[in-house]
Structure 1
Amino acid sequence: MTLPPNNTSGSSNVHEARNALGKRLRELRQQAGISGRRLAELLSWPPSKISKLENARQTPSDDDIRAWTRATNSEAETEALLASLHTLEIQHAEWQRQFRAGLRPHQQEIAELDARTHTFRVFEPSTIPGLLQTAEYARARFTEGVLLFKTPNDVDYAVRTRMQRQELLYRRDKLFHFVLTEAVLRYRRCSVEVLLAQLDRLMSLSAQPNVRLGIIGFETQYVVGPWHGFWLRDKDRVTVETFSAELNLAQPQEIMLYSNVFEQLAAVASYGRSARAIINRIIDDLAPEVPEDGG
């Protein structure tokens, strides 16, 4: 089985949902017998905005929806349109918009979602999952986000929130299955000292009775390639993070696809002593780089 890189059905669904919303706005305008130019005049908008909204080149705001339905005498459609808009926003949550007020709101949302999730299945080919991170590794990841997106710097709060989230790992009513590539454990996305502490943390967490940690070594033959990371939360949602946005997929066929992909990746991973042997090998490779005095 092979998958095209970065061409998830979720991206297509987001585009289709945005198109459907624009098409519905156009239908309401046409039903009211109002031209695009006239509607722009009524709303004091540039005519180009009408075209962009109807052709899915711009996503409307809540106020845009309400103004549109008032002007087209279709206020009975307002709630349905707002529901469609909010579903679209959940499906495709742009990082720039999410982080506009800093890292705090998004971390709170994740914590609430974690609390509702019973079974976590996580595959990561490039970074340690947040639930397994040490405070300093998390700090490096959040700092990277602040630099990339030019967000308000509330890294300290974000780190504390992430550490609090990790209390879930000690709840026996939660089940966790993580599959990481060996590359994740070797990428220099922080100092060697921080990385070594992170690897030690993975060693201890791998012994947790409700945590299953799989490592796919470099020598492993893949059946399904590690195109990108994703989180499966119960059987309700798949979360995929890209550079620009977070995709939340909820279609049954999408969840089934990602469940099958996860099972293929999990099947070639090493667990228990074999996984810890891979981690120990990496620790042995990195340890000589740290001065004996730890400085």
Structure 2
Amino acid sequence: MAAIRTSGVSSLHEARLALGKRLRELRRQADLSGRELAESLSWPPSKVSKLENGRQSPTDEDIRVWARATASEREADSLLASLHTLAVQNVEWQRQLRGGLRSHQTEIAALDASTRLFRAFECTFVPGLLQTAEYARARFAQSVTVLKVRGDVTDAVRARVQRQEILYRPDKRFHFVLTESALRYRLCPPEVMLGQLDRLISLSGLPNVKFGIIGFETAYAVAPTHGFWLLDDERVMVETFSAELNLAGPQEIELYRTIFDSMATAASYGRQAREIIKRVVDDLSVEPLPEGKTE
């Protein structure tokens, strides 16, 4: 999992808005106005408005009494799961990376150890578990620049490379799907990317690794809006510039599983995937070397 991600995924406020929208739907299905619901619960009318418009997070008890008042008790567990996800999904990067980049890699390694099936979709860059040391260094350098965190890049690179030993464990399974754009974005010098592409070809041959690429010519059933990791069927991880979102609601996990399956179906594997990589290699290889470098 990368140290930083460019994406337009929902922020904590947007997730709160989604929960509020669902509460509003239940109230309207019960044919209650906001004032009527507030009176039945002995709440000030403003509380209903704040909850429905994402300006206030409900408590567990708020969810339970709302469900009872709108005759939708069957929805209570799902609503509570969404509420509890809100409490953990938005971990600020500045706080998470306070101990340095290497510390975060160590935390992720602990999560890796408890996961059996890793499914990752990436549309912007190469996943951390597949990165060369040089590519990882470029990614971490950007994190230091953007987030103004401690610049322990060398230690972080070493920790990331050590994490990659998990790829060779027979009890772990990995399914990576990348877009061709992730192989072409200029996020590092061409010579670094050439080494990275060579590593992808090598890792794609591991028996417990399934590696697919969605070529530019492929028609998408679902737009590749942002990357994400699906860990077993228990957690979805999405990283934005400012936060790491950890989604654990059953409906969210099912949604991302469906999206991943769509991306995986669109991808090319084996020889066809290697042909796409080689096409990118050929395009990079014809570019002039940096000044002062020779073949």
TM-score by length of 1: 0.72
- Paired residue for 1:173? 171
Per the TM alignment, residue 6 of structure 1 is displaced from its structure 2 partner at its CA by 3.9
Q: Secondary structure at the match of 2:211?
A: strand
- Paired with 2:11 and 2:216, the residues of 1 have a C-alpha distance of 28
2:256 aligned with 1:241: no
CA contact (8 A) 1:213 1:271 kept: yes
Which amino acid is the alignment partner of residue 156 of structure 1? T
Counterpart pick for 2:121 among 120, 123, 126:
123
Equivalent residue in structure 1 for 2:141, among 140, 143, 159: 143
How far the C-alpha of 1:14 sits from its partner, in A, is 5.4
The residue type paired with residue 141 of structure 2 is T
Matched residue SS, 1:215: strand
Match of 2:226 among 222, 225, 228: 228
C-alpha displacement of 1:272: 0.2
Shift of 1:138: 0.2
SS in structure 2 at match of 1:126: coil
Q: Which residue of 2 aligns with 1:197?
A: 195
Deviation at 1:93, TM superposition (A): 0.7
- Could you tell me whether the CA contact under 8 Å between 1:192 and 1:290 is conserved in 2? no
Which of the numbers 275, 278, 289 marks the counterpart of 2:276?
Answer: 278
Task: Indicate if the aligned counterparts of 1:9 and 1:254 stay in contact, CA closer than 8 A.
Answer: no
Amino acid at match of 2:213: I
Matches within 5 A, 1:1-295: 6=8, 8=10, 12-13=14-15, 90-291=88-289, 294=294
CA contact (8 A) 2:235 2:248 kept: yes
Identity %, equivalent residues: 60
Residues in 1 aligned to 2:222 and 2:278: alpha-carbon distance in whole angstroms: 26
Structure 2 CA distance for partners of 1:141 and 1:14, relative to 1, 3 Å: farther
**Counterpart residue identity of residue 140, structure 1:** A
How far off is 1:96 after superposition?
Answer: 1.5
Query: Residue 40 of structure 2 aligns with which residue?
Result: none
Cα offset, 1:106, TM superposition = 1.3
Letter in 1 for 2:174: F
Aligned amino acid, residue 115 of structure 1: A
Q: What is the alpha-carbon root mean square deviation over aligned residues?
A: 2.6
Please report the TM-score for the alignment, with normalisation by the length of structure 2: 0.72
Query: For 1:185 and 1:208, how far apart are their aligned partners in 2?
Result: 20
- Shift of residue 250, structure 1, vs aligned partner: 0.1
How far the C-alpha of 1:284 sits from its partner, in A, is: 0.7
Contact map agreement 2:85 2:249 (CA 8 A) in 1: no
Deviation at 1:211, TM superposition (A): 0.5
C-alpha distance 127-160 of structure 1, shift in aligned 2 (>3 A)? same
